[in-house]
Amino acid sequence: MEEQTLNLTDNMEGFQQVSVDLKQYETSFRRWLVQEIESERMSWQEARSKFHLPYRFDNTYREWQKRYSQEIILSLPLMTAEERINLKKLEEKNKELEKQLELAQMRLTAVNTMIDIAEKEYKLEIRKKSGPKQ
C-alpha cells in the first residue's frame, strides 16, 4: 500500500489567484481607507477582505499610511510672559462680562414678571400689542 501525501495546492482547481493592481484605487479612496483604519472603525484585515485587497496588503497599507495619514504633528512655541498676562486679563474680562449678562437676564426676568402681574392684577395693557389691533 502506497502512502499518498496531500498538499494544500492539490485541490485548488476552482480557485484563481487574482492579482490586484493597487494603482487602480483613487487617492480619495486611499485617504479614506487610511483614515478609517487609523480611527479604528475598520481593521486593515477587514479592509482587505471587504475591498478584495491582496494578501500582502499590510505592506501596501503602511505605504499608504505614510503618504496619506492626516496626523500632523504641530509644535507650538510656549507662551511668553506678556501673552500669559494678556490671557489672564482676557479671562477676567470674560468672567466679568458673563456676570453682567447673568444680571441683565435676571433683571429682564424680573421686569417681565412685574409686567405680567400688573397686567393680570390691575387689568392694564402695558405691553404694546403687535399687528393691526393696536
Residue 33's pLDDT is 84
- Compare 18 and 70 and report the one with higher pLDDT: 70
What pTM, to 2 d.p., does this model score? 0.40
Residue 1 has pLDDT above 70, yes or no: no
Return d(Cα 59, Cα 69) in angstroms, integer: 15
Q: Of 33-37, 57-61, 71-75, 112-116, where does mean pLDDT reach its minimum?
A: 71-75
What region does 109 belong to: left with phi over 0, alpha with psi -120 to 50, or beta? alpha
